A and B are shown apart, each in its own frame.
Chain A
Amino acid sequence: MTLTDSKSAVNDDRPLLGLLSGFIEELRNAGLPVSLTENLDAMEAVTHIPIEDREAFKYALGATLVKNHSHWRAFEVVFEVYFSLRGPEYEIFDGDTSADAPVEDDAEMSGEAQASGGGGGMSALTPEQLAEMLFKALMQGDDAMLRALARQAVIRFAGMEPGRPVGGTYYLYRTLRNLDLDGLLDRLMEATRDDAPGDLSPLEERLERDEFNDRMDRLKQEIESEIRRRLVADRGVEAMAKTLRKPLPEDVDFMHASREEMVNLRKAIYPLTRKLAVRLARKRRHGRKGPLDFRNTMRHSLSYGGVPAEPKFRFPRPAKPEIMVVADISGSVAAFARFTLHLVYALSGQFSKVRSFVFIDGLDEVTRFFDGVEDIGEAVHRVNTEADVVWVDGHSDYGHAFGVFWEKYGKEVGPKTTVLVLGDARNNYHASQSWIIKELKHRARKVFWLNPEPRAYWDTGDSIVGEYGTWCEGVFEVRNLRQLEAFVENLV
């Protein structure tokens, strides 16, 4: 029997097994580290779970395959793509054939629709009626209704056509634009205010608003998964799994991170700096002995008749690493800069001496903003508002910024200092002043440059990272956490 034969035989006998293999393959493609043992565990786990119970099935796979919570989102998407079309309640139905809709939805829908004078299924409703129903559903927090409305909204507004090579985000955007959720929130709040017996206190108002926001998030999720379901139905599982793949937090590009991704990144930084600090400490603990102590060795040699049989070493001087971070916070690297500031904050919690500087075309020391601050948000805000970083026009001028650094703080760079420069080296064709980096290298222990741009863009246009790079110990492309982690391991 050939290999293909046996494989297809397996697939025939146990379709689930074939499906699971494809699923795990896709997880690996998405970057999740799934080992062979975990694979086998998953196979065994699902035999203990009733297949009809989708939630249990999902958690069984999750518990055996996903061992890092930050990977859960990616897992959920793949799971949905692979198993979304299976199970009666997830069947696709189109607007014009709403008779096929699951019974419970249909009953509710027609009841509501008749009440509002539409008659028949949802597809007969005018947009105004639909908005009205959405309003009611959100007001009452009616989940079944929200799900039905999400479907209807996608059918109506997303304008999905088979075979159109457009991603899910585009459809989501189109649907949401038509629903005008912000306006709806205002209306909901107004209605709540009218219903309340007295005036709403700010606390109550706040709670109501959060409740509505929560419901709207659920609606958005429904819409998103409806779009995904339709895309999968149109293009097939494998193709969609590839397009819908969510990058893992460690692979998210700093420059293009969305707000949600940024929050996840922030959580991931802290363990990273801790790792850095632990490594440094361990190096100290297991470290080599200090240099040979010649005097001491000679003195002891006297007891061996002048033969230096027992070499004596000095005690190692404990390393007290000093870190100076010089970061570009101009518009072109804004997203990266925000991330950088969080990194600086996390670093300053782990090392005794971290000094931080930010620049655009001027340069200012911002260490004081991070000192003893409990709230990073506030520190970042102060850096952005109070730091004096604009010299002429607020466009990056690395040359001038380095000039200021050299003049004011150059003397404080010593042999224990590690200098980290963070920026894309897009200098707007100003003078580079790269001699300063050269001088810094002579004085400092190490000078590293971290560049958030893809390597392919280096030295194109006004980027002069190559010119600076010649004087650095290393220039690293740091576009995501994985690369940052690699750098950290390299550093120590």
Chain B
Amino acid sequence: MSDEDVNFADLDGVRAALADADYLADDGIAGVVYLAERLGKPILVEGPAGTGKTQLAKSVAEITGSRLIRLQCYEGLDESKALYEWNYKKQLLRIQAEGSDAAWNDVEDDLFSEEFLLTRPLLEAIRAEDPVVLLIDEVDRVEVETEALLLEILSEYQVSIPELGTVEALQVPMVFLTSNGTRELSEALKRRCLYLYIDYPDLDRERKIVTAKVPEIDANLADQVARIVRSIRQLDLKKDPSVSETLDWARTLVLLGVKQIDAAVATETANVLLKYRTDIEKAVKEFADNPDELAGPAN
């Protein structure tokens, strides 16, 4: 805990700490993380895929020395997967082991004790004694009704189990929710969170990210990579290249021993950056010296 306090003393402290963990935060990101820690509120992170939303949670866990507990959301996620479940096989065994002469009340009390509780990520985060960061990934994948599961834990940091009572958090965990924005989240959920939108980074930040994550790259190439990616994002594409794809591309170029990107190199490696055939064709058409000749190898 004291470790955390040192890191989060002020805004610049947060930014520096994140930078130490190789996460280059801009003003908005650092500011919201700082506030979340101060206010004890969850952060809802939205933005296009591959801009480092999940990575942010991981990096915060890293710098605060906390354990990361992750709940991956998907359609059909329910209570027993997210919160807790009774281990009914063990309960059955318990009943059988008792034999027929035990008093029912004793057995009943026993059956719904913590021994038979299977904790799932949310409850686990609440009951953790060490500092934890809870990451609820891709919240927009669950149905609107399932969102309600999260509300209690997000606002009160507690979980009510009918048979046991209410489990309150021993310490307030940092909570991150991420969403790709495929659907509008409910008002109730949004109200309980701080909102952070992570967009594609600007030229300068992207260049720094490339240099930080691909240390072998030389400054000139990193600059070129960042600039080409920015230009590609301005095209009207089905899927813009994400930061992770930029990094993949930079790594590819380093492995190929490229010193200077020209149209031919860009065309040959475009499939690392872009994942749709139409997008690749479009980008190649825009950037190649002689599109007709070079359209072939890109596919």
Q: Using CB atoms and an 8 Å cutoff, list the residues of chain A in contact with chain B.
A: 33, 35, 37-38, 41, 44-45, 48-50, 53, 55-56, 59-60, 62-64, 66-69, 72, 201-203, 206-207, 210-211, 214, 270-271, 274-275, 278, 374-375, 377-378
Q: Are B286 and A69 in contact (CB under 8 A)?
A: no
How far does the Cβ of B160 sit from chain A's closest Cβ, in whole Å? Answer: 21
How far does the Cβ of A448 sit from chain B's closest Cβ, in whole Å? Answer: 23
- Is B156 among interface residues, defined by CB-CB distance under 8 A? no
Contact with A along B269-291 (1 / 0, CB 8 A): 00000001110001000111100
Q: Are A37 and B263 in contact (CB under 8 A)?
A: no
Identify 28 residue pairs between A and B in the complex whose beta-carbon atoms are under 8 Å apart, listed by A's number: A45-B38, A55-B27, A56-B11, A56-B31, A59-B28, A59-B31, A60-B31, A63-B195, A63-B196, A64-B35, A64-B194, A66-B195, A67-B44, A67-B195, A69-B47, A202-B289, A203-B261, A203-B263, A203-B266, A214-B230, A270-B182, A271-B184, A274-B182, A274-B183, A275-B183, A278-B183, A374-B238, A374-B276
CA A270 to CA B224, docked complex, whole Å: 33
CA A413 to CA B127, docked complex, whole Å: 60
Contact with A along B227-247 (1 / 0, CB 8 A): 110110010101000000000
Q: Are B35 and A60 in contact (CB under 8 A)?
A: yes
- Closest residue of chain B to A46 (Cβ to Cβ) is B35
B137 surroundings in chain A (CB, below 8 A): none
B47 surroundings in chain A (CB, below 8 A): 69
The 6 closest A-B pairs by CB, nearest first: A59-B31, A67-B190, A63-B194, A69-B197, A48-B38, A67-B195
How many A-B contacts at CB < 8 Å in the complex? 108
CA A206 to CA B195, docked complex, whole Å: 36
- Is B32 among interface residues, defined by CB-CB distance under 8 A? yes
How far does the Cβ of A279 sit from chain B's closest Cβ, in whole Å? Answer: 10
* A210-B231, A271-B182 given; A41·B41 CB < 8 A: yes
How far does the Cβ of A371 sit from chain B's closest Cβ, in whole Å? Answer: 14
- Closest residue of chain B to A38 (Cβ to Cβ) is B191
B39 surroundings in chain A (CB, below 8 A): 41, 44-45, 48
CA A63 to CA B43, docked complex, whole Å: 9
- Is B262 among interface residues, defined by CB-CB distance under 8 A? yes
B129 surroundings in chain A (CB, below 8 A): none
* A48-B38, A60-B35 given; A207·B231 CB < 8 A: yes
B35 surroundings in chain A (CB, below 8 A): 45, 48-49, 60, 63-64
CA A278 to CA B196, docked complex, whole Å: 26
Q: Are B289 and A375 in contact (CB under 8 A)?
A: no
Interface size on B, residues (CB 8 A): 48
- Closest residue of chain A to B234 (Cβ to Cβ) is A210
Partner of A207, one of B27, B228, B282: B228
CA A72 to CA B47, docked complex, whole Å: 13
Partner of B278, one of A37, A41, A60, A374: A374
- Closest residue of chain B to A35 (Cβ to Cβ) is B191
Q: Are B263 and A202 in contact (CB under 8 A)?
A: yes
Q: Are B182 and A377 in contact (CB under 8 A)?
A: no
CA A278 to CA B145, docked complex, whole Å: 12
Q: Are B238 and A375 in contact (CB under 8 A)?
A: yes
- Is B101 among interface residues, defined by CB-CB distance under 8 A? no
- Closest residue of chain B to A377 (Cβ to Cβ) is B236
B46 surroundings in chain A (CB, below 8 A): 69
Partner of A202, one of B227, B228, B287: B287
How far does the Cβ of B20 sit from chain A's closest Cβ, in whole Å? Answer: 20
B228 surroundings in chain A (CB, below 8 A): 203, 207
What would 13 more interface pairs be, CB under 8 Å, given A50-B11, A53-B11, A210-B227? A35-B191, A48-B39, A49-B31, A62-B28, A63-B31, A63-B196, A69-B46, A69-B47, A201-B262, A203-B287, A210-B230, A210-B231, A378-B278
Contact with A along B156-188 (1 / 0, CB 8 A): 000000000000000000000000011110010
CA A274 to CA B144, docked complex, whole Å: 13
CA A271 to CA B181, docked complex, whole Å: 8
- Is B203 among interface residues, defined by CB-CB distance under 8 A? yes
Q: Are A56 and B27 in contact (CB under 8 A)?
A: yes
How far does the Cβ of B276 sit from chain A's closest Cβ, in whole Å? Answer: 6
A375 surroundings in chain B (CB, below 8 A): 238, 278, 282
How far does the Cβ of A61 sit from chain B's closest Cβ, in whole Å? Answer: 10
A48 surroundings in chain B (CB, below 8 A): 34-35, 38-39
